[in-house]
A and B are shown apart, each in its own frame.
Chain A
Amino acid sequence: MAEPQPDFLHKIIQRIDLRTGKDAVQARQVVARELKARGVSALRVTRFATAVSEIARNVIVHGGGGHFTVGLNAATSYLDVECRDRGRGIPDIEQAMKDGFTTAGGLGRGLGGAKRLSDRFEIETVPGQGTTVRMSAKI
């Protein structure tokens, strides 16, 4: 799996524990607020906040909860988000990224969709130990 960018989350803005749906709402609202404050267009705010919403829900529904961190990467002008859980991990990541794949009875568009809606996206998963998603939007 790819190593995180050395300057990823260089300056942390906020951390949120992801346990309930309310936490996921807060996480994507914080992301939207930070992008808007930096003059990012409504379309790009919506795209990335939607991606964050998908991943935050995965942490809660599949990962048994976890942690969300949002921060800045001042050197490269990205808003960075990390979502980390200590759930069972994803056995076959390529399959999970494909549209139509679902284990929880959903549409199976969340993971692949989140990747398409992010400017940078990487996922690190260890079966039995958890999953970390690092995603960024250019600001």
Chain B
Amino acid sequence: MSGVASIHLVENALLVSIQDDVTDTEIIDLQDALSNRIADENVDGVIVDISALEIVDTFVGRVIAQLAGISRLLAAETYVVGMRPAVAVTLVELGMYLPQTRTALSLSHALAQLRRG
């Protein structure tokens, strides 16, 4: 795994923060690493913090959507937290609604939702 994003276990979830200079290759590597950790650690959720991301284009959006699909097959929910308003507007303009992901405004909101099950 590159140094771009480290994966942390917080309560029953895996937390990862994506950095703004992430490349296509690195985010695919991250998707692979997260998929393995979801299965290995039997977590209920994956929390992807994108607050550092100034843009989410169709490629990164697709990887996040795929990650949510993979997580669900492995019995975990994916939460996207920290999305900037400008990113949300742009994703909608691109026609990307990330239907499999659940969004939360912050990490603590995501963890609270996971605790409730």
Contacts and interface: CB of A to CB of B under 8 A. Distances in A.
Interface stretch (A1-9, A48-56, A74-82): A48-56
Interface residues of B, number: 25
B86 A42 contact: yes
B57 A46 contact: no
A4 to B, nearest CB: 25
Given A32-B54, A53-B57, A21 B24 contact: yes
Interface residues of A, number: 26
B89 interface: yes
Interface stretch (A64-72, A86-94, A109-117, A122-130): A109-117
Contact of B84 (A46, A54, A106): A46
Interface in B1-26: 20-26
B62 A117 contact: no
B57 A57 contact: yes
A117 B91 CA distance: 10
A135 B95 CA distance: 20
B90 A25 contact: no
B23 A21 contact: yes
B42 to A, nearest CB: 31
B55 interface: yes
A86 to B, nearest CB: 21
A116 B92 CA distance: 11
24 contacts: A20-B23, A21-B23, A21-B26, A24-B24, A25-B21, A25-B23, A32-B54, A32-B55, A42-B84, A42-B86, A46-B55, A46-B86, A46-B90, A50-B56, A53-B57, A54-B57, A57-B57, A106-B58, A107-B58, A107-B61, A113-B94, A116-B94, A117-B90, A117-B94
Given A24-B23, A29-B21, 19 more contacts: A21-B24, A21-B25, A24-B24, A25-B23, A43-B89, A46-B54, A46-B84, A46-B86, A47-B90, A47-B93, A50-B57, A54-B58, A57-B57, A106-B58, A107-B58, A107-B61, A109-B96, A110-B58, A117-B90
